[in-house]
Amino acid sequence: MGTLGAILKHPVDIYPLLKLRMVAKHAEKQIPPEPHWAFCYSMLHRVSRSFALVIQQLGTELRNAVCIFYLVLRALDTVEDDTSIPTDVKVPILLAFHRHIYDRDWHFSCGTKDYKVLMDQFHNVSTAFLELGEGYQEAIEDITKKMGAGMAKFILKEVESIDDYDEYCHYVAGLVGLGLSKLFHASGLEDLAPDSLSNSMGLFLQKTNIIRDYLEDINEIPKSRMFWPREIWSKYVNKLEDLKYEENSVKAVQCLNDMVTNALIHMDDTLKYLSELRDPAIFRFCAIPQIMAIGTLAMCYNNVDVFRGVVKMRRGLTAQVIHQTKTMADVYGAFFDFSCMLKSKVDNSDPNAVKTLSRLEAAQKSCRESGALNKRKSYIIRNEPIYIPVLIVLFFILLSIIFAYLSANRPSY
Ligand code: IN0
């Protein structure tokens, strides 16, 4: 749960946080009895807390397929991320990963902490994968093959242009969108979404991660990971790592705002993809991470702390998003609110201010034209100030109690 300070500042978080704790406890109790499935679901809980909760609402068959898809991709990612594996060892593993998932005896030890456990006991994931329906297996194999090849390509190549950036994000996240759309279709619950919209869903999430994780990636030992495209950062500094130095703060924030403005391009496709989903559980599963992404972008925009530490949405706000995202009206409401928050942070002297504002206004126009804004419960911005007077009253009550106590115990001379 969040810190006491954060809770006192946002008492509106208390209820969603408690509710989230209960949902998490309930989800942890629902681990299946078969040892390989038990391994897969407990792994999912360990590597991704909120994702593990969101996945719970899917029906069993689709949930199993998505859980395995997620773990296979996490394993592939662990190989890609491990900077201690020599390139000539890493590349063949990435290229052949789609075949390893069919082999119960295959494993490759790498990564650290939970990821090392995932890699060492990968046979559990393969065993569960082999129990999935053929349609699910084919979709997972196809995406793993394409992603492994794309990752191998970028081991040897830097992200130079904005096109490279979009291509890299397509391999590591856009393909996840294509794969999930295939899984939803294979379940018989959804039509097959157009590839370009599925791709944008992944790009919006991944670009947000790349922006948020600047410091962690640049400080990676033994070698920095660099995903910000040279075409953007070279307008502001000579080397990507220069962004983290205090003397470059002004340029760093301008570069950050440029990166956020680039990510905003995908908002329209994201709204379109979500608006075309029919199944309520799939809708929630897809909508929650997208709302978290726009929320994170709103926190990061114009915020020098991105270059000093971790900027994240507070847990209470995440809990609110998880509980309050049910319909498209909620998504339009959240996108509208976070776009408002972003707009209020745009400084006219920023080199990209006009572009940023026009992208935000376009998204707000889509939200307004949906006709759903009036019906929404605006949970993100409007309901917090209501609690400020409550806090003031509570403060005075506490003060009177202390005063009464002190007066009662005053020594009488
Ligand atoms: C995801 C995506 C994800 C979920 C739902 C629909 C999607 C449609 C298209 C593309 C991706 C979609 O969601 C997770 C969310 C996640 O893992 N969140 C972390 C928090 C965080 O900050 O990282 C958590 O701990 O809960 C996601 O980020 N990715 C992902 C990976 C596999 C699958 Cl099956 C679904 C990773 C990525 C790279 C953004 C695609």
Closest residue by Cα to atom 34, ligand 1, is: 70
Which residue puts its alpha carbon closest to atom 13 of ligand 1? Answer: 289
85 with 152: CB under 8 angstroms? no
With H, G, I as helix, E, B as strand and everything else as coil, classify residue 325.
coil
Place of tokens 């590591």: 172
Asked if 233 and 163 count as a contact pair (C-beta separation under 8 A), the reply is no
Neighbours of 306 (CB within 10 A): 24
Q: Scanning the structure block, which residue is given the tokens 């592939």?
A: 76
Tokens of 167: 């291509």
Under 8 Å between Cβ of 126 and 103: yes
Q: What is the chain's length? A: 413
- Where b means 16+ CB within 10 Å and e means fewer, 11-47 reads bbbbebbeebeebbeebeeeeeeeebbebbbbbbbeb
CA of 51 to the centre of ligand 1 (A): 7
What residue owns the CA closest to ligand 1's atom 37?
Answer: 173
The torsion angles phi and psi of 234, rounded to 5 degrees, stand at: -70, -15
pLDDT in the model for residue 357:
98
Closest C-alpha to ligand 1, atom 4 = 286
Separation of CA 193 and ligand 1 centre (Å): 18
Give percent of the chain above pLDDT 70: 94
At residue 383, the pLDDT reads 47
Question: For residue range 133-179, what is the model confidence (pLDDT) as tens digits?
Answer: 999 999 999 999 999 999 999 998 999 999 999 999 999 999 999 99
| Residues of the chain predicted below pLDDT 50 | 1-2, 383
Catalytic residue list: 168, 212, 225, 285
- On whether the CB atoms of residues 69 and 132 are closer than 8 A, the answer is no
Name the pTM for this structure. 0.92
Whole-number pLDDT of residue 221: 85
Which residue in 293, 259, 263, 270 sits closest to 200, CA to CA? 270
Give alpha helix (H) positions in 101-234. Answer: 113-120, 123-129, 134-155, 162-169, 175-186, 195-212, 214-218, 230-233
C-alpha distances in angstroms, 217 versus 104, 226, 244, 307?
33, 7, 12, 11
Q: What pLDDT was estimated at residue 376?
A: 67
pLDDT at 135: 98
Atom of ligand 1 nearest to the CA of 179: 34
Query: What pLDDT shows up at residue 223?
Result: 85
Chain mean pLDDT for the chain: 93
Evaluate whether 236 touches 243 at the Cβ level (below 8 Å): yes
400, exposed or middle or buried, with CB in 10 Å at 0-12, 13-18, 19+?
exposed
Which atom of ligand 1 is closest in space to residue 54's alpha carbon?
26
pLDDT tens-digit series, residues 184-232: 999 999 999 999 999 999 999 999 999 999 999 999 988 898 999 999 9
Check the CA dihedral 80-257-294-271 and report its sign: negative
Cα 206 to ligand 1 centre (Å): 8
Cis peptide before 222 (omega within 30 of 0): yes
Give residue 380's pLDDT: 60
Residue 199 CA to ligand 1 centre (angstroms): 13
